[in-house]
A and B are shown apart, each in its own frame.
Chain A
Amino acid sequence: GQQLNQSPQSMFIQEGEDVSMNCTSSSIFNTWLWYKQDPGEGPVLLIALYKAGELTSNGRLTAQFGITRKDSFLNISASIPSDVGIYFCAGQRGNKLVFGAGTILRVKS
C-alpha cells in the first residue's frame, strides 16, 4: 500500500531547540494528522488539519496543511526531554489513513 514520505527519519537535537519535520505525498488528502508514539504504547493524536493552507497550534506544536493538499509539516518549539518519541504523519481519505514511516526524535538534555 501507499506510504507517505516523511523526513527526517531521525533527529538528535539539543534541549530548547526548535524542530521541524514534514510529509509529502503524490496523492491529495482531505485531512492531515500528526501523532506521537511513545515506546510500547499506541499513537496519540497531536494535531488534525482539515483545510488546505490551515495552520494549527497545540501548545508548542504547530502544523500546517499544504496548499496543494499533498504535504504537511510539524514544528515543535523549545524542545524538552519529554518530546522524545516517534512522530507520525497520516493522510486521511474517507475513513482510511495512510501513514508515514515516522520521525524518531531524541533530545539531548
Chain B
Amino acid sequence: DGGITQSPKYLFRKEGQNVTLSCEQNLNHDAMYWYRQDPGQGLRLIYYSQIVNDFQKGDIAEGYSVSREKKESFPLTVTSAQKNPTAFYLCASSGRPRTGVGNQPQHFGDGTRLSIL
C-alpha cells in the first residue's frame, strides 16, 4: 500500500538530548513537510522540502533541523535547543502541481508523540 510512515509512534527525550523522528513515503511525492500539533491548536509548519537536497524553514523552525537526502525520506531532528518539545509531530507529503488545478493536497502520516522524561 502507498502511504506515509512515521516512526516511532511514541518517543521520549531526556534533557539535553537530540532525537530524530523518521518519515518515509512511497507515494513518489516531491514535497514533504513537518508540522507540530499542540492541544487545542491547529498544525504549525516546522520545515518543508520541495525537492531532494533542498528545504526551507517554516513558521516555527527554531530548535529543529531536517535533511532531504532521498526523495522518500525527510527526517526531523528535535535538538536540545528546543525548550518545549512535547507535542504531536506530523509529517506530510504532496505531489507535483497539476496543470489547471494547482498544488496537490497534502497527505499525512499517523504522527509521532514526543514527550520529555
Do A and B pair up? The answer is yes
Residue of B nearest to A41 (CB): B110
- A-chain residues with CB within 8 Å of residue B26 when the two chains form the complex: none
Bound-state CA distance A50–B27 (Å) is 22
Name the interface size band of chain A: 20 to 34
Interface hits, B24-82 → A, CB 8 Å: 31, 33, 40-45, 48, 50, 58-60
- How many whole Å from B51's CB to the nearest CB in chain A? 11
Interface string of A55-71 (1 = CB under 8 A from B): 00000000000000000
Most buried by A among B44, B60, B106: B106
Interchain CB contact (< 8 A) of A1 among B60, B103, B110: B60
Q: A99 and B43: CB pair below 8 A? A: yes
Tell me the total A-B contact number using a CB cutoff of 8 A.
Answer: 68
Contact residues, B65-116 vs A (CB, 8 A): 90, 92, 94, 101-103, 105-111, 113
Q: Is the CB of B105 within 8 A of A45?
A: yes
CA distance in complex: A42, B37 (Å): 10
Contact partner of B103 among A45, A92, A100, CB < 8 A?
A92
Choose from B6, B45, B109 the contact partner of A97 (Cβ within 8 Å).
B45
Asked, given contacts A95-B31, A99-B43, whether A31 binds B111 with beta carbons under 8 Å apart, the answer is no
Interface centre among A43, A48, A101 (most CB of B within 10 A): A43
A43 and B108 contact, CB distance less than 8 A: yes
Chain B residues within 8 Å of A4, by CB? 42
Report the nearest B residue to A42, measured CB to CB. Answer: B108
- Is there a chain B Cβ closer than 8 Å to A88's Cβ? yes
Q: Which residue of A lies closest to B97 (CB)?
A: A95
**Given the contacts A100-B42, A102-B42, A42 and B102 also touching, CB distance less than 8 Å:** no
Q: What residues of chain B lie closer than 8 Å to A21, measured between beta carbons?
A: none
User: Cβ of A88 and Cβ of B43 under 8 Å apart?
Assistant: yes
B binding-site residues for A, Cβ under 8 Å? 4, 6, 31, 33, 40-45, 48, 50, 58-60, 90, 92, 94, 101-103, 105-111, 113
- Interface residues in chain A, defined as those with a beta carbon under 8 Å from any beta carbon in chain B: 1, 3-4, 6, 30-31, 33, 35, 40-45, 48, 50, 88, 90, 92, 94-97, 99-102
15 A/B residue pairs, CB under 8 Å, sorted by A: A1-B60, A31-B102, A31-B103, A35-B108, A40-B110, A43-B108, A48-B105, A88-B42, A90-B42, A95-B31, A95-B94, A96-B45, A97-B106, A99-B42, A99-B43
